[in-house]
Amino acid sequence: MHDSLTPIGGLVPIAEMMLNNVFGGIGVGLINLITFAILTVFLVGMMIGRTPEFLGKKIEAREMKLVMIALLAHPFSILGFTALAAIFPGTLQSLNNLGPHGFSEVLYTYVSGTANNGSAFAGLNANTPFFNTTIGFAMLIGRYLTLMPMLAVAGALAAKKTIPEGPGTLSTSSALFTGLLVFVVIAVGGLTFLPSLALGPIAEQLLMGAHQTF
Amino acid sequence: MRQQMQSVRQEAPVTAGLVRPVLISAVFFMVVTGLVYPLGTTGVSQMLFHRQAQGSIITEHGVDVGSAIIGQWFTESKYFHPRPSATTGTDPNDSSKTVDQPYNAANTSGSNLGSTSKKLVDAVAGRVEAYRKENGLGPTDPIPVDAVTASGSGLDPEISVANARIQAKRVAAARGIPEQQVLALLDTHTQEPQFGVLGYPRLNVLEVNLALDNLALHTSGK
User: Among A171-180, B8-17, B203-212, which range has the highest average pLDDT?
Assistant: B203-212
CA of B158 vs chain A CAs: smallest distance (Å):
19
In this prediction, residues A75-79 reach a mean pLDDT of 94
- Whether B11 has a pLDDT exceeding 70, the answer reads no
- Whether B3 has a pLDDT exceeding 80, the answer reads no
CA of A8 vs chain B CAs: smallest distance (Å):
11
- Which residues from B are below 8 Å from A104, CB to CB? 114
- Whether B6 has a pLDDT exceeding 80, the answer reads no
User: Is A153 within 8 Å of A67 (Cβ atoms)?
Assistant: yes
- Quickly state the pLDDT bin for B98 (edges 50, 70, 90): confident
- Whether B17 has a pLDDT exceeding 80, the answer reads yes
Is there a contact between A4 and B116 if contact means CB atoms under 8 Å apart? no
- Which residues from A are below 8 Å from B110, CB to CB? 1, 3-4, 122
Provide, rounded to the nearest whole percent, the portion of chain B with pLDDT above 70.
Answer: 93
Q: Supply the pTM of this predicted model.
A: 0.84
- Which residues from A are below 8 Å from B113, CB to CB? 3-4, 96-97, 123
Q: DSSP assignment, residue B191?
A: B
Is there a contact between A207 and B116 if contact means CB atoms under 8 Å apart? yes
Of A55-64, A151-160, A161-170, A190-199, minimum mean pLDDT range: A161-170
pLDDT in tens, B119-177: 999 999 999 999 999 999 999 899 999 999 999 899 999 999 999 999 999 999 999 99
Mean pLDDT of chain A: 90
Residue B222 has a pLDDT of 46
Mean pLDDT of chain B: 89
- Whether B31 has a pLDDT exceeding 70, the answer reads yes
In this prediction, residues A115-130 reach a mean pLDDT of 90
Q: Say what the ipTM of the complex is.
A: 0.79
Q: DSSP assignment, residue A3?
A: G
Is there a contact between B109 and A1 if contact means CB atoms under 8 Å apart? yes
- Which residues from B are below 8 Å from A1, CB to CB? 109-110, 112, 152
- Whether B199 has a pLDDT exceeding 70, the answer reads yes
- Whether B22 has a pLDDT exceeding 50, the answer reads yes
- Whether A32 has a pLDDT exceeding 50, the answer reads yes
Q: How far is CA B134 from CA B102, B127, B150, B163, B167, in A?
A: 18, 10, 18, 13, 9
- Whether B9 has a pLDDT exceeding 60, the answer reads no
- Quickly state the pLDDT bin for B14 (edges 50, 70, 90): low
CA of A208 vs chain B CAs: smallest distance (Å):
6
- Whether A26 has a pLDDT exceeding 80, the answer reads no
- Whether A143 has a pLDDT exceeding 80, the answer reads yes
In this prediction, residues B18-31 reach a mean pLDDT of 95
Best interface-test mutation with A: which of B3, B111, B112 has the largest number of A CBs within 10 A? B112
- Whether B1 has a pLDDT exceeding 90, the answer reads no
Is there a contact between A4 and B113 if contact means CB atoms under 8 Å apart? yes
Is there a contact between A204 and B115 if contact means CB atoms under 8 Å apart? yes
**Three-class DSSP labels, B26-40:** HHHHHHHHHHHHHHH
Is there a contact between B115 and A7 if contact means CB atoms under 8 Å apart? yes
CA of A160 vs chain B CAs: smallest distance (Å):
15
Is there a contact between B116 and A101 if contact means CB atoms under 8 Å apart? yes
Give the C-alpha separation, A102 to A214, whole Å: 10
Burial string for B143-166 (b: 16+ CB within 10 Å, else e) reads bbebbbbbbbbbbbbbbbbbbbbb
- Quickly state the pLDDT bin for B12 (edges 50, 70, 90): low
Q: How far is CA B93 from CA A177, B73, B79, B208, in A?
A: 66, 21, 29, 34
Q: Residue B99, Cβ neighbours under 10 Å: how many? A: 12
SS3 content of chain B, % helix, strand, coil (to 5): 50, 10, 35
CA of B117 vs chain A CAs: smallest distance (Å):
5
Residue B93 has a pLDDT of 84
Give the C-alpha separation, B112 to B125, whole Å: 17
- Whether A25 has a pLDDT exceeding 80, the answer reads no
Instruction: List CB contacts of B5: < 8 A, sequence separation 6 or more.
Output: none
B4 near A CB under 8 A: no
Is there a contact between A99 and B116 if contact means CB atoms under 8 Å apart? yes
Instruction: Compare CB distances from A204 to B113, B116, B121 and report the shortest one's residue.
Output: B116
